[in-house]
């Protein structure tokens, strides 16, 4: 098992054997220590895949084997791979790795939903009371991942699974709010952000990209010649977004950062545990971007505004200058019905246009002379 770099190459390759199988590939890392970590990660995944194949060959496929195979074939290639892994690990604990797929029934799924929805999530500091997770979180982190694993097992691997009425287990989610930042609120937030996080958030305000799409953006995804960039969204779906002048200038200004990723931050202090050196640049992480946004929004005095609201802000602003189809393309919605939550922007514009077109003073009553004139015209058939 080794990592090595070919002459003239920018990144290290890996080459190792597992149970008489040879695995080679590119780690995608320019640092040898990081390349070794990546090789070890790939090795663990490949060993899991081999173990899953053995179990499948010796009898009915278990959920542990199915989740491992799903992670290797699908999960690890997603931008939010760690989120998928966490969901599958929760399911393995709740269902049991040795449970055959055919034993997962509607009754089992109903109990899993009940178990997941009463679990607590941490909010604020240790003194802040915890509250149960919401319906959307239950759907995204438990029901949907389980459905994806079982459907792949049935349709791709041709493994017998139980018939499940998934519509009965999806919890009703409250309608997503649409919180748009005013220009003043945006300026306040941007005035507090720094060290590279300001660039990432500015990019979000302009293009409406999700947090994972931003932190996962690589320099190879940016095409200055064609003035466009490619992001990878939910489910690994890619979409190409054209650059406007502001985005072009922003991306050009950071094209020479020392990582393969577009968005980086400058370490404010050295941290031996995290291997950070003060003043050096590192890739912005999902957790880091979320935390920076939350802290600086609070410091700016902007209430009830989350990072995802930058997406709502961009979508609403674009809608005012275009139509729902354009916003659908920008946000990467598979169904335009998902985009209709931004229709409120058009209603507001209609209201503003009506107010602008209305006379400055509207008569509330008709004077006596005017009333007589209208009565006379009515009798003559003129009114």
- Which pLDDT value is given to residue 383? 42
Q: Are residues 190 and 158 in the same domain?
A: no
Confidence check: pLDDT of 64 > 70: yes
- Which pLDDT value is given to residue 228? 96
Q: Are residues 138 and 202 in the same domain?
A: no
State how far the Cα of 8 lies from the Cα of 297, in Å rounded to an integer: 44
Q: Which residues contact 294 (CB under 8 A, 6 or more apart)?
A: 306, 307
Rounded mean pLDDT of 34-55? 82
Confidence check: pLDDT of 287 > 50: yes
Q: Are residues 269 and 154 in the same domain?
A: no
Rounded mean pLDDT of 329-354? 79
Q: Are residues 235 and 352 in the same domain?
A: yes
Q: Is 12 left (phi over 0), alpha (psi -120 to 50) or beta?
A: beta
Q: Are residues 206 and 257 in the same domain?
A: yes
Point out the domain boundary residue: 168, 195, 228: 168
Q: Give the single-character DSSP code of 302.
A: -
Q: Evaluate whether residue 287 is within a structural domain.
A: yes
Rounded mean pLDDT of 22-44? 87
Q: What are the residues facing 131 on neighbouring strands? A: 121
Q: Are residues 107 and 130 in the same domain?
A: yes
Rounded mean pLDDT of 246-261? 94
293-317 pLDDT, tens digit each = 999 999 999 999 999 999 999 999 9
- Which pLDDT value is given to residue 7? 79
Confidence check: pLDDT of 95 > 90: yes
- Residue 311: closest CA among 211, 185, 239: 211
Q: Are residues 343 and 234 in the same domain?
A: yes
Comparing 92-101, 322-331, 339-348, the range with the smallest average pLDDT is 339-348
Q: Evaluate whether residue 37 is within a structural domain.
A: yes
Measure CA of the first residue to CA of the last residue in the chain; give whole Å: 95
Of the pLDDT bands very low, low, confident and very high (cuts 50, 70, 90), residue 3 is confident
Give the domain CATH number at 299.
1.10.443.10
Q: Are residues 213 and 286 in the same domain?
A: yes
Q: Are residues 155 and 188 in the same domain?
A: no
- Which pLDDT value is given to residue 340? 84
Rounded mean pLDDT of 364-369? 53
- Which pLDDT value is given to residue 357? 82
Number of domains in the chain: 2
Asked whether the whole model's pTM tops 0.75, one would answer no
Confidence check: pLDDT of 367 > 80: no
Q: Evaluate whether residue 367 is within a structural domain.
A: no
- Residue 200 structural domain: 183-356
Phi and psi of 228, rounded to 5°? Answer: -155, 160
264's enclosing H/E stretch is strand 264-266
Confidence check: pLDDT of 80 > 80: no
Q: Are residues 219 and 159 in the same domain?
A: no
- Which pLDDT value is given to residue 345? 67
Of the pLDDT bands very low, low, confident and very high (cuts 50, 70, 90), residue 136 is confident
Q: Evaluate whether residue 33 is within a structural domain.
A: yes
Share of the chain above pLDDT 90, in %: 45
Rounded mean pLDDT of 86-99? 93
Q: Evaluate whether residue 34 is within a structural domain.
A: yes
Of the pLDDT bands very low, low, confident and very high (cuts 50, 70, 90), residue 370 is low
Share of the chain above pLDDT 70, in %: 87
**Token pair of 32, please?**
């040898």
Of the pLDDT bands very low, low, confident and very high (cuts 50, 70, 90), residue 46 is confident
170-221 pLDDT, tens digit each = 998 776 678 899 999 999 999 999 989 999 999 999 999 999 999 999 999 9
Question: Is 125 or 196 the better-scoring residue by pLDDT?
Answer: 196
Q: Evaluate whether residue 178 is within a structural domain.
A: no
- Which pLDDT value is given to residue 125? 52
Rounded mean pLDDT of 325-340? 86
Comparing 40-49, 204-213, 257-266, the range with the smallest average pLDDT is 40-49
State how far the Cα of 214 lies from the Cα of 194, in Å rounded to an integer: 16
**Token pair of 295, please?**
């802290």
Q: Are residues 203 and 159 in the same domain?
A: no
Point out the domain boundary residue: 168, 192, 216: 168
218-227 pLDDT, tens digit each = 999 999 999 9
Q: Evaluate whether residue 248 is within a structural domain.
A: yes
Q: Evaluate whether residue 176 is within a structural domain.
A: no
Q: Are residues 195 and 137 in the same domain?
A: no
């Amino acid at each position: 098992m080794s990592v090595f770099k070919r002459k003239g190459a920018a990144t290290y390759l890996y080459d190792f054997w597992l149970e008489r199988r040879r695995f080679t590939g590119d780690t995608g890392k320019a640092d040898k220590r990081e390349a070794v970590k990546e090789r070890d990660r790939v090795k663990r995944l490949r060993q899991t895949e081999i173990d899953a194949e053995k179990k499948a060959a010796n009898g009915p496929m278990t959920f542990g084997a199915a989740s491992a195979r799903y992670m290797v074939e699908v999960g690890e290639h997603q931008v939010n791979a760690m989120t998928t892994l966490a969901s599958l690990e929760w399911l393995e604990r709740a269902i049991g790795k040795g449970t055959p797929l055919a034993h997962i029934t509607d009754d089992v799924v109903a109990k899993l939903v009940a178990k997941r929805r009463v679990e607590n999530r941490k909010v604020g500091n240790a003194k802040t009371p915890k509250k149960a997770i919401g319906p959307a979180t239950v759907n995204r982190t438990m029901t949907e991942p389980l459905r994806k694993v079982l459907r792949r097992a049935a349709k791709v691997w041709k493994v017998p699974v139980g018939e499940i009425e998934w519509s009965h287990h999806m919890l009703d989610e409250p309608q997503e709010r649409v919180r748009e930042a005013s220009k003043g609120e945006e300026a306040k937030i941007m005035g507090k952000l720094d060290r590279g996080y300001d660039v990432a958030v500015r990019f979000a305000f302009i293009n409406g990209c999700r947090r994972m799409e931003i932190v996962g953006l690589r320099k190879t995804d940016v095409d200055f010649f064609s003035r466009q960039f490619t992001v990878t969204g939910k489910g690994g779906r890619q979409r190409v977004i054209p650059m406007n002048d502001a985005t072009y200038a922003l991306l050009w200004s950071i094209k020479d950062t020392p990582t393969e990723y577009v968005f980086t931050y400058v370490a404010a202090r050295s941290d031996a545990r995290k291997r950070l050196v003060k003043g050096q640049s590192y890739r912005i992480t999902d957790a880091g971007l979320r935390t920076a946004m939350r802290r600086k929004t609070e410091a700016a005095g902007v209430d009830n505004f989350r990072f995802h609201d930058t997406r709502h802000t961009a979508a609403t602003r674009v809608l005012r200058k275009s139509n729902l189809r354009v916003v659908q393309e920008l946000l990467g919605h598979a169904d335009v019905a998902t985009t209709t939550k931004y229709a409120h922007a058009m209603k507001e514009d209609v209201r503003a246009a009506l107010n602008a077109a209305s006379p400055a003073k509207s008569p509330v009553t008709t004077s006596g002379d005017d009333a007589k004139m209208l009565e006379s015209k009515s009798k003559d058939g003129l009114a």
